[in-house]
Amino acid sequence: MIGTLRRAVTLFAMLAVALLNAAAPGPALAQSTTALRIGVIPSDFSAQPYYAQDMGFFAKQGLNVEIVPVNNGAAAAAAVLTGSLEFAYSNVMSLAIAHDKGIPLTIVALANIYTAEAPAGGLIGVKRSSAISTAQDLNGKTVAVGALNNVTHLGARAWVDANGGDSTSVHWLEIQISAMAAAVLSGRIDAAVMDQGVYPTLGKPGDPIRVIGHAYDAVARTFAVGGWFGSADWVKQHPLEARKFAAAMADAATWAKTHHRESAAILAKYLKESAADINANARYAYGTVATTQMLQPSIDVSAKYGLIHSAFPATELVTR
């Protein structure tokens, strides 16, 4: 009888363990992944997803990511709002404009940041033989920017006004960044707001173009130029996925800061360019935490120059 009871207890214990094992999530379920589509403008300034993909930062967060090339912030915003993308890159000023118009977009992570100690963009270049050397000298002149009414244009306007010039007298011309050097050297334009990532010898000894100022310094010494955004409704309904994506972007930003050679090799693969050429350029830094202090300068400059109706707290643009 006792032996029968012991066997019954043993059998019951084995059955209980089997049932618990069946109910517990197995390795495949425990490691289940969330699929996300990320819109990226193929470039160094929005390269975090490339690094997160290759270095396993997405996998670490349980994210299965498809990187989708997009041409510009407007196309990215349309794709996010229609559900074709979960997240995408845009400059902060464009997102401030969307907010001003009541378009429900929200920033979940920072992308490229500007720091006056290592300026990679917003460099105002003139022909070395030009008589132009101050902001006041640009009055009445033709100055090229990559796009009107964005951070390059408004940053340059702010720099001219802050340094004794009159930005309303300047003839602002939108041309491709890659064509700026030739336009300056040919005399077709008087100056251009240039990017060292596109023109790596800019301002260096012997270069035919010299730098007279750093446009972005007039926005702030350090601020967020770009951010990763999603639909406010989608983010509200998927807070865990948004946090995981933000964490992967922060990991990529931290890693890229001290791994220029390795990141250049990854970027070269995606952009189909030379890793040596990429690493020879001034490289972008990325933000790790979407603080209001990093975002507010772009909002304030947008309001100052009439891009939006009025300034608003950056907290309204950030996912909390």
Q: Kindly list the domain boundaries of the chain, sorted by start residue.
A: 32-116+222-317, 123-218
pLDDT at position 176 is 87
Helix (H, G, I), strand (E, B) or coil at 211: strand
Cβ 91 vs Cβ 226: under 8 Å: yes
pTM over 0.85? The answer is no
Domain at 32-116+222-317, CATH from 2.10.109.10, 3.40.190.10, 3.90.1300.10, 3.40.50.2300: 3.40.190.10
Q: Which pLDDT tens digit goes with each residue over 207-261?
A: 999 999 999 999 999 999 999 999 999 999 999 999 999 999 999 999 999 999 9
Q: Distance (Å, rounded) from C-alpha 271 to C-alpha 278?
A: 10
Taking domain 123-218, whether its CATH number is 3.40.190.10 is answered by yes
pLDDT at position 100 is 96
Q: State the pLDDT confidence band at 196, using cuts at 50, 70 and 90.
A: confident
Phi-psi region of 187 (alpha: psi -120 to 50; beta: other; left: phi over 0): left
pLDDT at position 118 is 83
- Between residues 235 and 29, the one the model is more confident about: 235
Range 15-33 burial, b when 16+ CB lie within 10 A, else e = eeeeeeeeeeeeeeeeeee
Same fold, 32-116+222-317 and 123-218: yes
Phi/psi for 59 (5° steps) reads -60, -40
Amino acid at 84: S
pLDDT at position 178 is 83
pLDDT at 265 exceeding the cut of 60? yes
Q: Which pLDDT tens digit goes with each residue over 132-177?
A: 999 999 999 999 998 898 889 999 999 999 999 999 999 999 998 8
pLDDT at position 32 is 61
Helix (H, G, I), strand (E, B) or coil at 297: helix
